[in-house]
Amino acid sequence: QHTEEKILAADEIIKSPGIPEKNELIKKIRQKGIKVSSEIELAYRYIGNGKIAAITGSNGKTTTTTMTYHICRHAGVDCAVVGNIGYSFARQVAEDPKEWYIVEVSSFQLDDIHEFKPLIAIMTNITEDHLDRYEYKFENYINSKFRITENQAGTDYFIYCEDDPVTMQYISKFTIHSNPLPFSMNNETNRGAFLKNGQMTIATGEEKVQMSIYDFAIKGKHNQYNTMAACTAAVLIGVRKEKIRDAMQNFETLEHRMEHVSTVRGVEFINDSKATNVNGTWYALESMEHPTILILGGVDKGNDYSILTDLVREKVKAIVCLGTDNRKIHEAFQNDVQLIMNTGSAEEAVKTAFHFANKGDIVLLSPA
């Protein structure tokens, strides 16, 4: 058991990313000027000749991380998936070191890095999330995300989405020394990846790699972005085109991410509980092709629901609220949806949604 006295006598503290800065003990640690590091920083010191592909972003980072790992493992790369998913990075380094570490990193983990330097950094996108931890200032959160590049050198790579407005608005404000590799559906890039007429082209050096996305198992526009990022990383790691294509043909979607749960009396239930911000819910709604009852809510993290308005108006016939304070949801959608109901538990929410549904409808859990 650590006492406060012991903690405040430390030379360095490895802080769990879940502990906010407003925690009283953290305030005392900061006041004393004790060095605070994240666990990924500690692990980085001991990787030896190991190499890192690190993935961050508001949406898609878990899918992109898992996809990159799936491709590499399929190709026989000596690798592990660590960080936010799988083992902690430090445990993996201590118990079973690898040549490559595919690391999912959150903004909270990046807040306390000092020398952590990935050879490949991926930023999927940036949308408002976790603002409760960043004094409700979007810029603070953006700064945290871009820290993934801050120690990179000219021999490293930064893969980012050229179609993401926030990334593109802020990228020039940071000094980035690594090689930029943008991915896009709107522009044909000379370096990086782009999608045109169902063909994905990846160019990381002189050579171009082309693949048809119709061969891939995973569907949805957001997943095509994730696929471009993961495949670009895989090419950099040295995986051949044939191996990438094989791996992507049998890649399954993640648990709790647009997962078909069951069909009951003609009503399909989809679990997208991994969508913990508004943009995640936007992507989920965008792919709905039938009238939808949306289960929404949870803890309000400073969400701006306005980006959902058009999709809700077009696709949602009822909203079932799950969580403590649903006032913002009612205010945001009262003019767009006839039925908005509050519920006290997940079970009640599902039963209420089923009650509103007709045969052929979809019940979508996408909490935002």
**Tokens at residue 23, please?**
């925690």
Q: Per-residue pLDDT averaged across 165-173, rounded?
A: 95
What pLDDT, in 10s, does the model give residues 113-128? 999 999 999 999 998 7
Instruction: Report which DSSP code applies to 238.
Output: T
Q: What is the pLDDT of residue 360?
A: 94
Asked which of 74-83, 251-260, 336-345 is least confident by mean pLDDT, the reply is: 251-260
β-sheet with 199-203: strand ranges across: 79-83, 100-104, 51-56, 120-123, 157-161, 179-184, 192-196, 199-203, 208-212
Q: How far is CA 126 from CA 81, 145, 158, 267, 296, in A?
A: 22, 8, 15, 33, 21
Q: What is the pLDDT of residue 139?
A: 86
Greatest mean pLDDT among 197-206, 281-290, 303-312: 197-206
Contact 161, 136 (CB under 8 A): no
Higher confidence at residue 148 or residue 214? Answer: 148
CA distance 34 to 11: 6
Residue 138, pLDDT above cutoff 70: yes
Contact 319, 329 (CB under 8 A): yes
| Per-chain mean pLDDT for the chain | 90
pLDDT-derived band at 254 (thresholds 50, 70, 90) equals low
Higher confidence at residue 277 or residue 49? Answer: 49
Contact 318, 339 (CB under 8 A): yes
Higher confidence at residue 129 or residue 83? Answer: 83
State the pairing for strand pair 208-212/199-203.
antiparallel
Higher confidence at residue 300 or residue 317? Answer: 317
**Tokens at residue 11, please?**
């030379």
What pLDDT, in 10s, does the model give residues 54-96? 999 988 888 899 999 999 999 999 999 998 777 899 999 999 9
CA distance 115 to 45: 8
Asked which of 77-86, 226-235, 281-290, 335-344 is least confident by mean pLDDT, the reply is: 281-290
Residue 256, pLDDT above cutoff 60: no
**Tokens at residue 254, please?**
């993640």
Residue 160, pLDDT above cutoff 70: yes
At the fourth CATH level, the homologous superfamily of domain 259-365 is Mur ligase, C-terminal domain (3.90.190.20)
Q: What is the pLDDT of residue 130?
A: 60
Higher confidence at residue 2 or residue 225? Answer: 225
Contact 13, 35 (CB under 8 A): yes
Q: Per-residue pLDDT averaged across 193-213, rounded?
A: 92
**What is the signed CA dihedral for 213, 146, 104, 211, rounded to 10 degrees?**
10
Higher confidence at residue 190 or residue 254? Answer: 190
Residues written for the chain: 368
pLDDT-derived band at 250 (thresholds 50, 70, 90) equals confident
Residue 274, pLDDT above cutoff 90: no
- Per-domain boundaries in the chain: 4-37, 43-249, 259-365
Find the helix or strand (DSSP H, E) in which 223 lies: helix 221-237
For the chain, counts of helices (H) and of strands (E): 14, 17
pLDDT-derived band at 223 (thresholds 50, 70, 90) equals confident
What pLDDT, in 10s, does the model give residues 19-49? 888 899 999 999 999 999 999 999 999 999 9
CA distance 36 to 43: 14
Higher confidence at residue 27 or residue 325? Answer: 27
The neighbouring-strand residues paired with 293 are 318, 363
CA distance 314 to 294: 13
Diameter of the chain measured on Cα atoms: 64
Which of these CATH numbers, 3.30.750.24, 3.40.1190.10, 3.30.1330.120, 3.40.1280.10, describes 43-249?
A: 3.40.1190.10
